[in-house]
């Protein structure tokens, strides 16, 4: 009998590479933490990467805990997760409401997508509304500061891994002015799609998973599904009732492939409407508190709803804003207003027959 040569064989199974020995036996997985290659610094600016020309510095931080509506709460072992890099231009609000540029940075760290990926959801309201689109997370740092991020921001965007817990930082230095921006010393939550970066709090220590608290009756199968108007509320106080789109707002047309997580392709037709932020900005101010802890619930006539952070609606830097779409006068199923979330890969958070937009803060 011919002896085995001991050659390592690789089986590819559903996108997973599984190592075997020459007898077809699976090789035991290593218990060592995943090794992530560090980005090397290009001091001479010879390659085409603009974001590796300065030193990378580690940031101090403690343990990170997961709590809330999950079956398996507890602390996170970040060393088992892959690292991601994001680039941002940090800008904060001053006391008089103006923008103050802080600096441009590359942050390396661990995405909320990966951190929460194996935390199994146990929704408080799962009996009445099992969908995950009304989930959000409350992130707290060691100083007691809190910010809100919607579940959709983490798991639904076209471009994933843009919200990270940063453990390393590098300054992005302009080639002519050589400006070196001040570097933080602690780990940070980085929401890379925010225009004003008030949610980038230092040293986050706890992530609490929550579902939308307010009880909303659900009437599945309502027909026709139609709401003749839409109320905008803040903490249960009605701020406005919208029956027609404001004529002074410019109509925008967004071309999209409308694809659902469950039913797949819906259409390839464009959506035309106004940016939701232009309407809501008339009633709800852009300030530090709202940027950090504001939450919108977009609610349909039948109780279907999706949740968005204030910053996700009002404070994007990727020009993928939410669109409020007027339906045709004869469209009695799904009208009179629809929400189209332009930055989402899936269509699940698109709400038909919008009856209420509820705003609240922590």
Burial class, 285, CB count within 10 angstroms (exposed 0-12 / middle 13-18 / buried 19+): exposed
pLDDT given at position 16 = 42
Residue 279 falls inside a structural domain: yes
Do 71 and 116 lie in one domain? The reply is yes
Do 260 and 323 lie in one domain? The reply is yes
Residue 161, both tokens: 């891994």
φ/ψ of residue 288, rounded to 5: -60, -45
Residue 9 falls inside a structural domain: no
Q: Tell whether the model's pLDDT for residue 26 goes beyond 60.
A: no
Strands of the 135-141 sheet, one edge to the other:
74-75, 65-68, 204-211, 135-141, 146-150
In the predicted model, what is the mean pLDDT of residues 183-197? 97
Tally of domains within the chain:
2
Q: Tell whether the model's pLDDT for residue 9 goes beyond 60.
A: no
In the predicted model, what is the mean pLDDT of residues 215-234? 92
Q: Tell whether the model's pLDDT for residue 243 goes beyond 50.
A: yes
Q: Tell whether the model's pLDDT for residue 40 goes beyond 60.
A: yes
Last residue in a domain, options 149, 184, 211: 211
pLDDT given at position 288 = 96
Residue 46 falls inside a structural domain: no
107 CB neighbour count, 10 Å cutoff = 26
Residue 18 falls inside a structural domain: no
pLDDT given at position 19 = 42
Read off the pLDDT band of 48 (50, 70, 90).
confident
For residue 65, the cross-strand partners are 75, 206
Do 109 and 246 lie in one domain? The reply is no
Whole-structure pTM value? 0.85
Do 260 and 199 lie in one domain? The reply is no
Q: What is the CATH number of the domain that holds 338?
A: 3.90.420.10
DSSP state of 237: E
C-alpha to C-alpha distance for 255 and 323, rounded to whole angstroms: 12
pLDDT given at position 53 = 81
Last residue in a domain, options 211, 245, 278: 211
- Summarize pLDDT for 160-180 with one digit per residue, the tens: 999 999 999 999 999 899 999
Read off the pLDDT band of 50 (50, 70, 90).
confident
Residue 45 falls inside a structural domain: no
In the predicted model, what is the mean pLDDT of residues 311-339? 91
Residue 3 falls inside a structural domain: no
pLDDT given at position 261 = 87
State which residues form the domain around 184: 52-211
Q: Tell whether the model's pLDDT for residue 38 goes beyond 60.
A: no
- Summarize pLDDT for 90-101 with one digit per residue, the tens: 999 998 889 999
C-alpha to C-alpha distance for 66 and 74, rounded to whole angstroms: 5
C-alpha to C-alpha distance for 156 and 162, rounded to whole angstroms: 11
Do 74 and 146 lie in one domain? The reply is yes
Q: Which residue has the tokens 């803040």?
A: 234
Do 139 and 59 lie in one domain? The reply is yes
Beta-strand relationship, 84-93 and 99-111: antiparallel
Higher model confidence: residue 283 or residue 38? 283
Do 138 and 206 lie in one domain? The reply is yes
Do 160 and 262 lie in one domain? The reply is no
Residue 14 falls inside a structural domain: no
- Summarize pLDDT for 114-152 with one digit per residue, the tens: 999 999 999 999 999 999 999 999 999 999 999 999 999
Do 193 and 246 lie in one domain? The reply is no
Do 110 and 180 lie in one domain? The reply is yes
pLDDT given at position 42 = 64
Q: Tell whether the model's pLDDT for residue 41 goes beyond 80.
A: no
Do 202 and 240 lie in one domain? The reply is no
Residue 235 falls inside a structural domain: yes
Q: How far apart are the first and last CA of the chain?
A: 72
Q: Tell whether the model's pLDDT for residue 27 goes beyond 90.
A: no
In the predicted model, what is the mean pLDDT of residues 250-258? 92
Do 270 and 170 lie in one domain? The reply is no
Last residue in a domain, options 211, 244, 274: 211
């Amino acid at each position: 009998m011919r002896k085995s040569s001991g050659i390592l064989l690789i089986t590819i199974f559903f996108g997973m590479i599984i190592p075997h020995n020459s007898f077809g036996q699976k090789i035991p997985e290593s218990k060592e933490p995943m090794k992530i290659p560090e980005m090397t610094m290009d001091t001479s600016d010879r390659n085409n990467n603009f974001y590796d020309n300065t030193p990378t510095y580690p940031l101090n931080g403690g343990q990170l805990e997961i709590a809330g509506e999950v079956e398996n709460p507890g602390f996170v072992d970040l060393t088992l997760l892959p690292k991601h890099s994001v680039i941002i231009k940090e800008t904060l609000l001053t006391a008089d409401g103006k923008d103050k540029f802080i600096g441009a940075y590359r942050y390396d760290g661990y995405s909320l997508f990966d951190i929460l990926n194996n935390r199994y959801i146990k929704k408080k309201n799962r009996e009445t509304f099992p969908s995950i689109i009304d989930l959000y997370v409350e992130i707290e740092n060691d100083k007691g500061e809190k910010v809100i991020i919607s579940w959709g921001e983490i798991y639904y965007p076209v471009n994933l891994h843009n919200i990270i817990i940063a453990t390393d930082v590098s300054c992005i230095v302009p080639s002519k002015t050589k400006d070196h921006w001040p570097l933080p010393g602690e780990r940070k939550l980085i929401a890379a799609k925010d225009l004003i970066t008030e949610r980038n709090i230092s040293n986050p220590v706890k992530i609490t998973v929550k579902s939308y608290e307010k009880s909303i009756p659900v009437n599945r199968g309502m027909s026709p599904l139609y709401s003749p108007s839409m109320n905008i509320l803040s903490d249960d106080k009605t701020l406005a009732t919208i029956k027609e789109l404001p004529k002074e707002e410019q109509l925008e047309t967004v071309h999209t492939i409308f694809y659902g997580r469950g039913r797949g392709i819906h259409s390839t037709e464009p959506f035309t409407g106004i940016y939701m932020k232009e309407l809501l900005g008339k009633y709800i101010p852009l300030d530090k508190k709202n940027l950090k802890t504001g939450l919108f619930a977009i609610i349909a006539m039948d109780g279907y709803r999706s949740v968005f952070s204030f910053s996700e609606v009002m404070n994007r830097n990727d020009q993928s804003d939410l669109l409020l779409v007027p339906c045709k006068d004869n469209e009695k199923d799904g009208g009179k207003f629809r929400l189209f979330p332009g930055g989402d890969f899936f269509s699940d958070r698109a709400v038909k027959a919008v009856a209420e937009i509820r705003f609240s803060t922590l």
